[in-house]
Chains A and B, each alone.
Chain A
Amino acid sequence: MATGTEPPAVSTGVSGGTGVHGASRAAIAPRHLRTDRWWLAPALTAAGLFAFIVYSTWRAFANSDYYAAPYVSPFYSPCLAESCAPMRNGPNWEIFGSWWGLSPALLILIFPLGFRLTCYYYRKAYYRGFWASPPACAVAEPHAKYTGETRFPLILQNIHRYFFYAAVPVAGILTYDTVLTFRDEEYAWGHMGLGSLIFLVNIVLIWAYTLSCHSCRHIIGGRLRHFSKHPVRYRLWGWAGKLNNRHMQLAWASLISVALCDFYVYLLATGAFADPRLF
């Protein structure tokens, strides 16, 4: 019987159609019947991500205008090649020596890029926005086959937590960079410019985004079976959860703030703008 608890044999579109147009499904021609502007969210997502990709690619390969004392662009911090601009007390670690001929940004950007690329929120965003898999809820996707994250390369999404581990020291270094902004152009401490404010906002957002990560929430406490036996971790897990509720907002906010930070440094470095000093 059809409403029994045994399902009918899986029919793979004998009559030609698949998915919602499969032979057994209700015969409705349109791919979806949504009347709202369902395409708006994926379109905005795609546009936003695309804009960031274009901007960051340009800046990452530029290999110039990333340092204007006391500010270092977050794209180039830490700076791991010999070719880096010298920054007093700044994150100059010449681990890669002189053989590295490309932009030093590429050495370090791998980590935040990997962190964001495997992030559970960004995955949703680009699967929907770029891949149309699915474009929106209950809107049929255009692909004939789908295996999700079961195979190479997407199975690699499972390594998100290692990028999280890497993202923590990177955020630490950016914090250090932010501390360094409380100097003036002559490296004297106890000063603050508009840039310091921008850096401050950025680092708060970076930390909030990093700590709101699903992997972080899991490692802090989510993996526990008995919260009652680990009260401290339970409390931390609760906080991570509260942040996690805003993971999407934080992902966008920190993405924009990091680009703004870089752009601010660019403006200073090219001399297009002078950093207003507050004190």
Chain B
Amino acid sequence: MTQLERRQWDVVVVGAGGAGLRAAIEARERGARTAVICKSLFGKAHTVMAEGGIAASMGNVNSGDNWRVHFRDTLRGGKFLNQWRMAELHAQEAPDRVWELETWGALFDRTPDGKISQRNFGGHEYPRLAHVGDRTGLELIRTLQQKIVALQQEDFREYGDYEARLKVYQECTVTRILKEDGAEGGDSEDGGRVAGAFCYERESGRFFVLEAPSVVLATGGIGKSFKVTSNSWEYTGDGHALALLAGAPLLNMEFVQFHPTGMVWPPSVKGILVTESVRGDGGVLRNSEGKRFMFDYIPDVFKEKYAESEDEGDRWYEDPDHNRRPPELLPRDEVARAINSEVKAGRGSPHGGVFLDVSTRMPAEVVRRRLPSMYHQFKELADVDITAEAMEVGPTCHYVMGGIAVDSETAAAPGVAGLYAAGEVAGGMHGSNRLGGNSLSDLLVFGRRAGLHAAAYAAGLDVRPAPDEGQIDAAAAEALRPFGAGEASRGDAVGPDGPGDRPAENPYTLHQELQQTMNDLVGIIRREQEMEQALEKLAELRVRAGRAGVEGHRQFNPGWHLALDLRNMLLVSECVARAALERTESRGGHTREDWPGMDSDWRRVNLYCRLAGTEEGAATDPAAGRIALTRRTTEPIRPDLLALFDKEELVKYLAEEELHE
């Protein structure tokens, strides 16, 4: 039995972004002793990168807005693949989640009558995004961070200890969800109960265990498996992998959103996001011929909703009630594909993107006021003055719609009692494509729900599950493996191709190859052959990752951290590739060149990824795939929700028999 520090909590939240912090606040306010554990410093989570705003139908700018309209937009954006109950809860609860931020000190931009200002965004019928300039994510994180501090101050007054009931373990990583004695991970339907998490401190490399009956996963996305991405290093799919390894399934992992506008130059910042507000506030896309090409790319399902001429589109900014919006504000998947096609057709910009122009659309001073951080970003990173010239932009991997399958109401992962997930790591809410602004509201709505139910579950237990000591030992051995790569594994029972006979692999090299593979072969446009090739490459990388080795010691060793994260990225990448190969249609964030149409029969099909085989099996034959896919038919959308749409619109999405039900 390994001797290491153990601490007992009621709820452990993995990840300190918007969803994690909101979950922690809720759990703590419900009386649970709560720990938050995060890879970065407290307050640095990737949520700070969110720029545009929080979608909530408060109706402050256009009183015609309400949750039903928001729900409708969300479903349209997700091409009706959304877990409709999640979309419904999300649309209903988002305004309350935004308003409560104000009581915690958030300062949103205001309307003239003193309410929270709301801005237009792609796919949203009305101005709906509560925002603070273009740094809404920062405001969200800071507000939640400061609320946590406020709760800690409360505890300090009561107990003389800031961390009596709410503690943040910063710069720590979770490598395994621990379960109670006798429960095995893997593919069994009843995965057993959660008992805690196995963690290491990044700074010292020291292992420790947080024992808790409830674990909320809020680890964000998977972008770091792709080469061009807007995501930070943290986005290695940790939560997805932890859930898989704990026996919970992932849902619809083929849907990966490529944000249409990432920076394309200079190379070192390639992928960094250019906020959609640039287009919401009047920015237009042009190709190298100076043409506003988006007018050529309005799909049939959206024909009635978007402007036909540049004039009409321009009028919309002033008079949205009598004009239709410009096609630059189509959902992200449409815009990303359009840019991709323009570049392929040879009408791209010098650095392989297209032009996004605000300089000819509004005065320099307005640009600086409305888009301060974009102005800065381009000025300081690319030496481009966006008030004087156009930006060069292209698609960048931004968000994964798929994720841990969760119960719509409680955010609980099915089959693993005590496991919850919220935010980007959870799947279903956004269907096949997420609307801008729906992410921050998703974090708040389902972060709160996850915290609430995780606390309630922990409070309702008479006997707490104790973590299986064998799992702790195994987790420690697994985490130490990279230090012994090349020699320690020599004696292991491995096959002729086993790790022992070959030199250790550089984790950075493996990571780069993985990113290149995913970017090229499972990227924005997908083909059957390429994905099969990708799966082969992934198998090869899995084998080599078994030999990933690092130098030095455990103290703040980034090479070691990356070696451990590789396991997660490889698992998640395999999910994406397998699911993308399986789904023979194009929808939202999944575009098949060989299956270009949207197929209404596929609308009802959800693809679930589970871990296949056993841990031992995986160790003996690392090349073997670790993911098994299953198809499940979704529940039909509740009739009163369907009634929110016109029949003509539903015909485009739903299969014949669904319409008659």
Contact = CB atoms under 8 A, between A and B. Distances in A.
A and B touching (Cβ–Cβ under 8 A) = yes
Interface of A: 1-5
Nearest to B167: A5
B342 to A, nearest CB: 44
A226 to B, nearest CB: 11
B457 interface: no
B204 A2 contact: yes
19 contacts: A1-B169, A1-B201, A1-B203, A1-B204, A2-B203, A2-B204, A3-B41, A3-B170, A3-B171, A3-B201, A3-B202, A3-B203, A4-B169, A4-B170, A5-B42, A5-B162, A5-B163, A5-B168, A5-B170
Contacts of A1: 169, 201, 203-204
A273 to B, nearest CB: 47
Contacts of B162: 5
Contacts of A3: 41, 170-171, 201-203
Interface string B153-172: 00000000011000011110
Interface string B212-228: 00000000000000000
Nearest to B149: A5
A16 B42 CA distance: 33
Contacts of B201: 1, 3
A5 B156 CA distance: 14
A100 B203 CA distance: 72
Contacts of A2: 203-204
A2 B169 CA distance: 11
Contacts of A4: 169-170
Interface in B190-220: 201-204
Contacts of B202: 3
A234 to B, nearest CB: 15
Interface residues of B, number: 12
Interface string B165-189: 0001111000000000000000000
A2 B163 CA distance: 15
Nearest to B202: A3
Nearest to A4: B170
Nearest to B152: A5
Contacts of A5: 42, 162-163, 168, 170
Nearest to A5: B168
Nearest to A2: B203
B156 to A, nearest CB: 12
B154 to A, nearest CB: 16
A4 B169 CA distance: 7
Contacts of B42: 5
Nearest to B556: A3
A138 B204 CA distance: 29
A5 B145 CA distance: 13
Interface string B423-444: 0000000000000000000000
A228 to B, nearest CB: 8
A3 B169 CA distance: 9
Nearest to B206: A1
A166 B42 CA distance: 49
A41 B162 CA distance: 44
A4 B203 CA distance: 10
A224 to B, nearest CB: 17
A91 to B, nearest CB: 45
Nearest to B201: A1
Given A3-B41, A4-B169, 17 more contacts: A1-B169, A1-B201, A1-B203, A1-B204, A2-B203, A2-B204, A3-B170, A3-B171, A3-B201, A3-B202, A3-B203, A4-B170, A5-B42, A5-B162, A5-B163, A5-B168, A5-B170
Contacts of B163: 5
B393 to A, nearest CB: 34
A84 B312 CA distance: 78
A230 to B, nearest CB: 16
A3 B201 CA distance: 9
B218 to A, nearest CB: 19
Nearest to B42: A5
A56 B42 CA distance: 54
A4 B202 CA distance: 11
A5 B16 CA distance: 14
A165 to B, nearest CB: 34
Interface string B4-41: 00000000000000000000000000000000000001
A1 B200 CA distance: 12
Contacts of B168: 5
A4 to B, nearest CB: 7
A5 B171 CA distance: 11
Nearest to A1: B201
A2 B41 CA distance: 12
A167 B390 CA distance: 50
**7 tightest A-B CB contacts, nearest first:** A3-B171, A3-B203, A3-B170, A1-B201, A2-B203, A5-B168, A5-B42
A3 B204 CA distance: 10
A103 B204 CA distance: 70
Nearest to A228: B114
A1 B204 CA distance: 9
A258 to B, nearest CB: 36
A5 B170 CA distance: 8
Interface string B338-358: 000000000000000000000
A5 B43 CA distance: 12
Nearest to B5: A1
A50 B42 CA distance: 48
Contacts of B171: 3
A96 B568 CA distance: 86
A2 B170 CA distance: 10
A172 to B, nearest CB: 36
Contacts of B204: 1-2
A182 B171 CA distance: 72
A2 B171 CA distance: 10
A88 B448 CA distance: 80
Nearest to B171: A3
A2 B204 CA distance: 9
A266 to B, nearest CB: 47
A244 to B, nearest CB: 20
A2 B555 CA distance: 12
A177 B42 CA distance: 61
Interface string B37-63: 000011000000000000000000000
A90 to B, nearest CB: 47
Contacts of B169: 1, 4
A4 B208 CA distance: 14
Nearest to B208: A1
A191 to B, nearest CB: 45
A94 B2 CA distance: 91
